[in-house]
Amino acid sequence: MRQLFLASFVCLAMFSNAQEKEKPTEKANYALAAKFSPEKLKSLIHSTHVSPNWINHTDRFWYEYSTPSGKNWYLVDPASKSKTQLFDHNEMAAKITRIVQNPFDGQHLDLKDLRFTDDEKRIRFEVQSTKDTIKSKEEIAKLKNKSDTIKKKLYHLEYDLASKTLTEIGDQTKEKRNLPWASFNPDTTRVYFAKSYNLYWMSKADYDKAVKDDKDSTIVEHQFTTDGVSNYAWGGDEYSITTGGEKEEEKRKGVYLSWSPNGQYFVLTRKDSRHLSPLWVINNVGGKRPTLETYKYQMPGEVDSTETDLYIFNAQTLSPKRVQVAAYKNQTIGVWRKDYNKSSMIGKRYIGYWHGNDQEFYVSRSSRDLKRIDVLAVGVDGSVRTLVQERSNVYQDIQKPYLVNDGKQFVHWSQRDGWGHLYLYDIQGNLVRQLTSGAYNVDGVQAFQSSNNTIYFTANGKEEGEDPYYLHYYSLSLNGGSAKLLNSGDFDHQVSASESGNVFVNNSSRVNTAPESNLYSASGKLLMKLEKADLSRLFDAGYKFPEPFTVKAGDGITDLYGVMYKPFDFDSTRTYPLVEYVYPGPQTEAVNKAFGRSMDRIDRLAQMGFIVITIGNRGGHPARSQWYHTYGYGNLRDYGLEDKKVAAEQLADRYSFIDVNRVGITGHSGGGFMSTAAMLVYPDFFKVAVSGAGNHENNIYNRWWSERHHGVGEKVSAKGDTTFTYDIDRNSALAKNLKGKLLIATGDIDNNVHPANSIRMAEALIKANKRFDFLLLPGQRHGFGDMTEYFFWKMADYFSQHLIGDSKMDEVDMVEINREKPLRR
User: Other C-beta atoms within 10 Å of 120: how many?
Assistant: 13
Per-residue pLDDT, 451: 94
Mean pLDDT to the nearest integer, 459-468: 97
Asked if residue 88 has pLDDT above 90, the reply is yes
Per-residue pLDDT, 150: 87
For residue 457, the one-letter residue type is F
Does the pTM surpass 0.75? The reply is: yes
Per-residue pLDDT, 213: 86
Closest CA to 66 of 529, 425, 537: 537
User: Rounded CA gap, 568 and 375, in Å?
Assistant: 52
User: Rounded CA gap, 640 and 621, in Å?
Assistant: 12
Asked if residue 4 has pLDDT above 80, the reply is no
Asked if residue 489 has pLDDT above 70, the reply is yes
Q: What is the distance of C-alpha 588 from the center of its chain?
A: 10
Q: Write b or e for each residue in 772-803: b if 16 or more Cβ atoms lie within 10 A of its Cβ, otherwise e.
A: beebebeebbbebeebbbebbbbbbbbbbbbb
Nearest 5°: the CA angle 572, 577, 581 is 115
3-state secondary structure of 633: coil
Instruction: Check if the beta carbon of residue 274 is closer than 8 Å to that of residue 231.
Output: yes
Residues 345-369: tens digit of each pLDDT: 777 788 899 999 999 999 999 999 9
Mean pLDDT to the nearest integer, 231-257: 71
Q: What is the distance of C-alpha 363 from the center of its chain?
A: 24
Spell out the alpha helix ranges (H) of 111-246: 137-141, 204-212
Q: How many domains does the chain have?
A: 2
Phi then psi for 163, rounded to 5 degrees?
A: -85, -15
Mean pLDDT to the nearest integer, 518-538: 97
Residues 276-297: tens digit of each pLDDT: 899 999 999 988 999 999 888 8
Spell out the alpha helix ranges (H) of 123-273: 137-141, 204-212
Confidence of residue 138 (pLDDT cuts 50, 70, 90): low
Residue 591 lies in a domain: yes
Per-residue pLDDT, 341: 80
User: Rounded CA gap, 358 and 812, in Å?
Assistant: 67
For residue 179, the one-letter residue type is L
User: Rounded CA gap, 238 and 621, in Å?
Assistant: 31
Range of the domain at 64: 44-173
Asked if residue 465 has pLDDT above 60, the reply is yes
Give the CATH number, domain containing residue 781: 3.40.50.1820
Pick the last residue of a domain from 124, 147, 173: 173
Residue 655 lies in a domain: yes
Instruction: Check if the beta carbon of residue 756 is closer than 8 Å to that of residue 700.
Output: yes
The residues, any chain, with a CB within 8 Å of residue 629's CB and separated by 6 or more, are 585, 586, 619, 620, 621, 622
* Higher-scoring residue by pLDDT: 556, 145: 556
User: Other C-beta atoms within 10 Å of 262: how many?
Assistant: 13
Residue 606 lies in a domain: yes
User: Rounded CA gap, 312 and 429, in Å?
Assistant: 23
Confidence of residue 480 (pLDDT cuts 50, 70, 90): confident
Residues 396-415: tens digit of each pLDDT: 999 999 999 999 999 999 99
Per-residue pLDDT, 448: 96
Residues 762-779: tens digit of each pLDDT: 999 999 999 999 999 999
DSSP labels, 542-587: T----EEEEEE-TTSSSEEEEEEE--TT--TTS-EEEEEE----SS
Mean pLDDT to the nearest integer, 638-650: 97
Asked if residue 8 has pLDDT above 60, the reply is no
Residue 533 lies in a domain: no
Asked if residue 751 has pLDDT above 90, the reply is yes
Residue 163 lies in a domain: yes
Q: List C-alpha distances in Å: 518 to 164, 495, 748.
A: 28, 10, 45
Instruction: Check if the beta carbon of residue 234 is closer than 8 Å to that of residue 318.
Output: no
Asked if residue 174 has pLDDT above 70, the reply is no
Mean pLDDT to the nearest integer, 386-400: 97
Q: List C-alpha distances in Å: 478 to 405, 411, 455, 463, 472.
A: 10, 9, 7, 21, 19
Residues 69-83: tens digit of each pLDDT: 999 999 999 999 999
Residues 557-578: tens digit of each pLDDT: 999 999 999 999 999 999 999 9
* Higher-scoring residue by pLDDT: 138, 601: 601
Phi then psi for 541, rounded to 5 degrees?
A: -80, -5
Mean pLDDT to the nearest integer, 597-611: 86
Task: Enter the DSSP assignment of 339.
Answer: P
Confidence of residue 342 (pLDDT cuts 50, 70, 90): confident
Mean pLDDT to the nearest integer, 659-672: 97
**Where does residue 444 rank: exposed (0-12), middle (13-18), buried (19+ CB within 10 A)?**
middle
Phi then psi for 788, rounded to 5 degrees?
A: -60, -45
Per-residue pLDDT, 739: 98
Mean pLDDT to the nearest integer, 328-337: 95
Mean residue pLDDT of the chain comes to 92
Confidence of residue 20 (pLDDT cuts 50, 70, 90): very low
Asked if residue 175 has pLDDT above 90, the reply is no
Residues 25-84: tens digit of each pLDDT: 789 999 999 999 998 999 999 999 999 999 999 999 999 999 999 999 999 999 999 999
Range scoring the smallest mean pLDDT among 19-28, 430-439, 715-724: 19-28
% of the chain at pLDDT higher than 70: 93
Pick the last residue of a domain from 151, 173, 195: 173
Residue 83 lies in a domain: yes
Mean pLDDT to the nearest integer, 672-692: 98
Mean pLDDT to the nearest integer, 224-244: 75
Confidence of residue 11 (pLDDT cuts 50, 70, 90): very low
Confidence of residue 606 (pLDDT cuts 50, 70, 90): very high
Pick the last residue of a domain from 173, 203, 226: 173
Residue 129 lies in a domain: yes
Per-residue pLDDT, 144: 62
% of the chain at pLDDT higher than 90: 81
* Higher-scoring residue by pLDDT: 108, 247: 108
Residue 570 lies in a domain: yes
The residues, any chain, with a CB within 8 Å of residue 254's CB and separated by 6 or more, are 180, 181, 182, 183, 193, 194, 235, 236, 238
